[in-house]
Amino acid sequence: MKLRKVLAMFLVLIMSMSLLAACASDEEKGDTSEEVKTESNETTDKEEAEAPEGLQPEDGAELLVWESEGPEGDFMERAIEEFNKIYPDVTINYEPVGHTDAKGKLALDGPAGVGADVFAAPHDHLGELVESGLIIPNTEFNANYAETFVPAAVTAVTYKGETYGYPVSIETYALFYNKDIVDEPVKTWDELKEFAKEYNNPSENKFALMFEAANAYYDYMFLGGYGSKLFGESGEDREQLGFDNENGVEAMKFLHSIRTDIMDIAAADISYDVMMQGFNSGQFPYMINGPWAIQDCKDAGTNFGIVELPVLPNGEHPESFSGVRGLYVSSYTEYPNAAMLFANFCADLEMTKERFEITHQIPVRTDYQVEDEFIAGVMAQAKYAKPMPAIPEMGSYWTVMGSVYTNIWEGAEPEAELEAAKEAMLAMYE
């Protein structure tokens, strides 16, 4: 009995103490690591002054890398292997974290010490990443970026004049068509509507075109094509929404006309899965999709081609969003040198070639052009593409316009919807 009592009391005591101790000791730990950090930073400064090329990884550096699962992840594992041939002492672990999820995860994981040192992110997250202090600038390797990378890629990883990322690929969406069904792809949306009149057969689920009609990523092409520039020409002016005018209304009317004339399907019933399946099985001769789908279509044995998006009734090309995937170095990394070296390594010529082989994403280096009929199709559209704005307010575009496009697709009045969208977006700035 006595033993039990003692045990019970100790349990209570230890639990409360260890909690307090955990908090207290962690504080201390935080302090010491801060010191270490500042020290190591000084040394980098010195090295930088002498020879940036001679940047060496810290002793015993251990990195964690986040990249999406799938081909991108496969590439990462390959890159780690290669990197270790040069720097055998750096341990690098890869964990699958979607590149769009990295921002949200790092906010907590970074400070807690379990976040990535190097991670992939789309460039429209850049503003939020910088404003919330999650990444450090790319100061070591940005000197020759203007010559090394295509202009769009350099712009995409730059925020307020400072370079942050290490660009690895660029992407936009274009028109996929099934060569077994159409010989010559349509040039204009009017032609596509004509084609739909003959082709569509809803009872057999045959539709001329399929795309994710309520997705703000795709639907921007109509706004842009009708002359609405989101956040201004530069994409950095948060006061200029661009769509709160006649052009915006035109664009939205056109978006709805696709529903009535080409694909009369509720937004909630359209999914990526449905689109891919129907395209590969020949139900939908056209789809709007990006280069990430090329491998899947090839695997399915579909005989397909890719061309630029059809011309709008106003004679303009749709202005698709283009995105640049970049690698970024977390501001919480214990080994900034190793992290920067690795991120840079993944963006160099050799690795860019590797990356293309594995992921089929479009490279952004000026010294490496890809000869590929599918990529050529995407690149044709890329001429008319607009890099997604990277300011922090992009987050409110996704939320607000996501539901506005849905509403319009389901038949809401464009004027009222855009007015509401404007109010909602401005309200979210606070």
Partner 1 sequence: MLKKRLKQLVIYTILIGIALIVLYPIAWTIGSSFNQGSSLQSTGINPIPDQFSLNQYRKLFTETDYLHWYKNTLKIAVINMIFSVAITSLSAYVFSRYGFKGKKISMISMLVLQIIPSFTGMVAMYIIIWKMGLLDTHLGLIIIYVAGQIPYNTWLVKGYLDTIPRELDAAAKVDGAGNFTTFFKIILPIARPIIVFLAIATFTAPWMDYIFPQLVLKSQKNWTLAIGLFEMIDGEADNAFSQFAAGCTLVAIPFTIFFMLSQKFMTEALGAGAVKS
Partner 2 sequence: MSVKGKTSSQKKNISLATIFSILFMGLGHILLGFQAKKMKSQSPKAAKKNALELYHILFFKGIIFIFIEIFALINFNSIAKAIYGLVTLGTVTGEKIMKNNDHSIFLMAEGLIIFLVVLVILAIYLYSVLDVYKINKRLATDQYFIDIDYSLKGVINDMFPYFVLSPVALMIIFFVFFPLLFSCLLAFTNYSMPYHMPPKNLVDWVGIQNFIDMFSLPNWKEAFVGVFTWNVIWAFIATFLNFFVGLLIALMLYDKDIKFTKGFRTIYILPYAIPQMINLLVWKNLLNGQFGPINLSLKAMGIIENSIPFLSDPMMAKVSVILVNLWIGAPYFMLLLTGILTSIPKNLYEAAEIDGASGLQKFRKITLPMVMFATAPLLVMTFSFNFNNFGAVYFLTGGGPDNVYPPGSGAGATDLLVTWIFELMNGMQKYHMAAVLSLLVFTIIAPFAIYNFTKTKSFKEGEY
Q: Which residues bind partner 1 (CB under 8 A)?
A: 1, 18-19, 22-23, 26, 68-70, 93, 95-96, 98-100, 108-109, 112-114, 272-274, 276-277, 281, 292-293, 296, 300
Which region, judged by CB under 8 A, interacts with partner 2, from 129-137, 171-179, 223-231, 368-376?
A: 129-137
Are the C-beta atoms of residues 418 and 243 closer than 8 Å to each other?
A: yes
Task: Determine, following the binding rule CB under 8 A, whether residue 162 of this chain makes contact with partner 2.
Answer: no
The Cα-based distances of 26 to 20, 113, 213 in angstroms read 10, 12, 49
Assigned token pair, 411: 């038949």
**Smallest separation (angstroms) from partner 1 to the CB of 269:** 11
Nearer to partner 2, 73 or 392 (CB): 392
- 310 DSSP 8-state letter: P
CA terminus-to-terminus distance, the chain: 63
Tell me, letter by letter, the H, E, C secondary structure of 155-210.
HHCEECCEECCEEEEEECCEEEEECCCCCCCCCEHHHHHHHHHHHCEHHHCECCEE
Nearer to partner 2, 2 or 383 (CB): 2
**Smallest separation (angstroms) from partner 2 to the CB of 74:** 26
> Exactly one of 60, 111, 151, 282 binds partner 2 (CB under 8 A); which one?
111
> Exactly one of 70, 232, 278, 313 binds partner 2 (CB under 8 A); which one?
278
**Smallest separation (angstroms) from partner 2 to the CB of 128:** 5
> Exactly one of 302, 395, 413, 415 binds partner 2 (CB under 8 A); which one?
395
Task: Determine, following the binding rule CB under 8 A, whether residue 145 of this chain makes contact with partner 2.
Answer: no
410 phi and psi angles, rounded to 5 deg: -85, 5
Assigned token pair, 88: 């055998």
**Smallest separation (angstroms) from partner 1 to the CB of 21:** 10
142's contact among partner 2, partner 1, none, with CB below 5 to 8 A by partner kind, is none
Are the C-beta atoms of residues 355 and 153 closer than 8 Å to each other?
A: no
Assigned token pair, 18: 């260890």
Type of residue found at 141 = F
| Residues near 167 by beta carbon (within 8 Å), at least 6 away in sequence | 149, 153, 154, 156, 157, 324, 325, 326, 347, 364
> Exactly one of 332, 335, 342, 384 binds partner 2 (CB under 8 A); which one?
332
Which region, judged by CB under 8 A, interacts with partner 2, from 244-252, 267-275, 296-304, 377-385?
A: 267-275
Are the C-beta atoms of residues 425 and 395 closer than 8 Å to each other?
A: no
Which region, judged by CB under 8 A, interacts with partner 2, from 22-30, 180-188, 292-300, 366-374?
A: 22-30
Assigned token pair, 358: 């594995």
Strands (E), 79-173: 91-96, 118-122, 135-136, 158-159, 162-163, 166-171
227's contact among partner 1, partner 2, none, with CB below 5 to 8 A by partner kind, is none
Are the C-beta atoms of residues 141 and 265 closer than 8 Å to each other?
A: no
Residues of span 397-416 touching partner 2 by CB under 8 A = 399-404, 406-407, 410, 412
Q: Quick one: which of 107, 135, 128 has its CA closest to 391?
A: 128
Instruction: Summarize as ranges the residues that interact with partner 2 (CB under 8 A).
Output: 1-2, 4-5, 8-9, 11-13, 15-17, 19-20, 23-24, 27, 30, 33-34, 37-38, 41, 104, 107, 111, 127-128, 131-134, 203, 205, 214, 265-271, 274, 278, 331-332, 392-393, 395-396, 399-404, 406-407, 410, 412, 417, 420-421, 423-425, 427-428, 430
